Amino acid sequence: MSDQKHIYIGLGSNVGDRLSYLQLAIDSIHYEVGSVLKISSCYQTPAMGFEGDAFINACIEVRTCLSAELVLSKLLQIEEQHGRKRFDDGQYHARTLDLDVLFYENEIIENQILSVPHPRLEQRRFVLQPLNDIAPDLIHPIQKESISTLLDFCQDQSPIEKRKESLQNPLQRFDFSAFNFIAIEGNIGAGKSSLTQMMAEDFNAKPIFERFADNPFLPKFYKDKERYAFALEMSFLADRYQQISDDLSQLDLFKDFIIADYDVFKSLIFSKITLQEDEFLLYRTLFYQVYKDIKRPDLYVYLHQNIDRLQQNIKKRGRNYERNLESDYLDKIHFGYLDFIKNNPQFKVKIIDISDRDFIENRHDYLWLLQHIQE
């Protein structure tokens, strides 16, 4: 999964229905750039550097996997799509939208197309005031002062008026409040952990990640399946129980729901494939004894990827012990999941085919996937 960057964008408009233009900008940034995390209040200020109607300004915090240059390109496209006209006379003009990259993490970027942090923002109250709403402790990497301190010492005395109207975060249009516990499932390499991480960050959820990387039997199993299958499945049985019991019992009052990148019943799916029949019967008996009172997810999401895509994803993440996984083994896992889903109709299940989607690298595909989970 690409590194996610926290960036800050300034928004302004002084033409037409200014608040509507700002909301359109936020909606477009949500769709094209990344998840909008925070939105400031709106502030009205006079036009600077030219005669024109007053601006309404705001700032937003966004999490994105795009480079700073690509973010700028997206913002310029959004301005143009919503009627921004540019002139070559070197003068300031009225504009439907003015979108600026203020900060890109704590990086200092200076090239032919981009200057970050945005030049002279510490001299502009119409930038500092809304930015102070959402990031008062953010440190300017050049000035070495916090936004709140820069605002206190800003010499810009232009009048500024806080508006009563507010802008809406597009993420609020997704509502997972009906669920206390969501499990994301799928074959090896389907993207379960990535989706769990992304949704946890976007929707204030407590994430639970399977601790397979710490299992000492897993690399051994891939080298000698028959010898280590039972030891592997028993170790997963114990570890999954311990982890899920601890995490589900620890109530987090500051999180809206729990989301996990596995469901404990995957133990039965994998053990049925890897174990001899007599071993599996013993294992299944132990499983139901251990998990008889375990909490089940309110929503079970199964991500379907075709085998070719799975193998591409497995190769991309570069775990040595997975590099020789055979298509036949992945096929068995897939049909094992489908058999489990078919024989457990009491679960609320969403099967979503993402074989032609890349929700990690493609923002549109991620939003498409959220919509299908919510429906």
For the annotated catalytic residues, the residue numbers are 84, 95, 98, 100
Distance CA 72, CA 114 (A): 8
Rounded (10°) CA dihedral 302, 263, 197, 325:
-70
DSSP 163-195: -S--PPPGGGG---TT-SEEEEEESTTS-HHHH
Question: Looking at residue 16, what DSSP letter applies?
Answer: S
CB within 8 Å of 330: residues ≥ 6 apart:
187, 188, 307, 310, 311
Helix axes 327-342, 266-274, angle to 10 degrees: 130
Contact by Cβ (8 Å): 145, 139: yes
β strands within 18-67, DSSP E: 35-39, 43-45, 55-64
Contact by Cβ (8 Å): 209, 193: yes
